[in-house]
Structure 1
Amino acid sequence: MNTSSRFTVAIHILTLLAHGGGEQMTSEYIAGSVNTNPVVIRRLMALLREARLVTSQVGVKGGWQLARPPKGITLRDIYRAVEEGALFPLHSNTPNPRCPVGSTIQATLLGHFEEAQLALEKDLERTTVADLVQETGARAR
């Protein structure tokens, strides 16, 4: 089973950009904060740009910045921008249809997993990047 840190890193990036107050930041600078390679940052930034959460400017004074105010970006927005597929994927192989459990387990689980996904997204909708800037600023003091 594979888990991804894209969501966490994307939250870090957007919180950093918001903390910068509109100042453009390079991928190298962001990578230094995240402690990763700038290539990883650029890949995530492409997803965030596609979701219209960030914009970029090329050139000497270029860099990345938020595409909208931090209070207008929720964790749900970020999650949807960088995570692919179901939160809880079903079996990669079709279970045995002759088995009393195998014949119905996927249909049984699907409804539960969809409800869990909706509950997660509803909860993520309540927190904005502005909230995180405030929380991280309070902890840094």
Structure 2
Amino acid sequence: MISSRYAVAVHILSLIAFTPEQPQSSEDLAASIGVHPVLVRSTLGLLRKAGLVHTRQGVAGSQLTRPLSEITMLEVFRAVLDEKDLFSMHDQPNPNCPIGRNIQGSLEWVFLEATRGMEERLARVTLADVVDDLSHRIDTPSSLV
């Protein structure tokens, strides 16, 4: 199951995109997202490590490293989650049971194809697409955070 960290990461990037001249602290971002600032800081660290944002320790605010249209949702996914987070096998099926002994092999190809399909779709959606959709949903952008 995909953790909410992915949605948090997209939320952070969207806030940065909407307020490029207005530096947002991790507390500001957390207030919009509804999470603890520590989660925001750790997620920003992953986004920075992936080369999606530029941050400076001790200084409020982050900047995107590339235009929105050049950041895919797949890049964001890979920045904050591991493919193992999508589907996982149960660790100890009963080897004495014919189903338990073989279920993992039967599920591997299903999970692999599902992962590939999701990744192909996320590779075609950019952060610009998400931000554009958001801009049509927001009544007054000046009321952000």
TM-score (norm. length: structure 1): 0.88
Which consecutive unaligned segments of at least 5 residues does structure 2 have? 140-145
The residue type paired with residue 121 of structure 2 is D
Asked whether the 8 Å contact 2:5–2:80 carries over to 1, the reply is: yes
Residue 13 of structure 2 contacts residue 64 of structure 2 at CA under 8 Å; is this kept in 1?
yes
Q: How far apart, CA to CA, are the structure 2 residues paired with 1:24 and 1:52?
A: 19
Separation in structure 2 between the aligned mates of residue 72 and residue 21 of structure 1, nearest angstrom: 16
Q: Provide the identity percentage.
A: 42
1:74–1:128 CA contact under 8 A, matched in 2: yes
| TM superposition shift of 1:82 | 0.8
Q: Does the 8 Å CA contact 1:23/1:65 hold for their aligned counterparts?
A: no
Kept in 2, the 8 Å contact 1:31–1:41? The answer is yes
In the other structure, the counterpart of 2:12 is: 13
Moved more, 113-122 or 63-72: 63-72
1:63 Cα deviation from its structure 2 partner: 2.0
Q: Please, what is the CA RMSD of the aligned residues?
A: 1.8
Structure 2 length as normaliser, TM-score?
Answer: 0.86
Aligned length: 138
Deviation at 1:58, TM superposition (A): 4.0
Does 1:46 pair with 2:51?
Answer: no
Q: 1:37-76: CA deviations, max 9, x gaps? A: 211100111111111111112455x421111111111111
> Which has a greater percent of helix?
2
Cα distance change, pair 22–52 in 1 and its aligned pair in 2 (3 A): farther
Secondary structure at the aligned position of 1:103 is classed as helix
CA contact (8 A) 1:27 1:64 kept: no
Letter in 1 for 2:49: E
Equivalent position of 1:55 in the other structure: 54
Query: What is the CA–CA distance in structure 2 between the aligned matches of 1:111 and 1:91, rounded to whole Å?
Result: 15
Q: Distance in 2 between matches of 1:63 and 1:90?
A: 39
Question: Where in structure 1 are there 5+ consecutive unaligned residues?
Answer: none
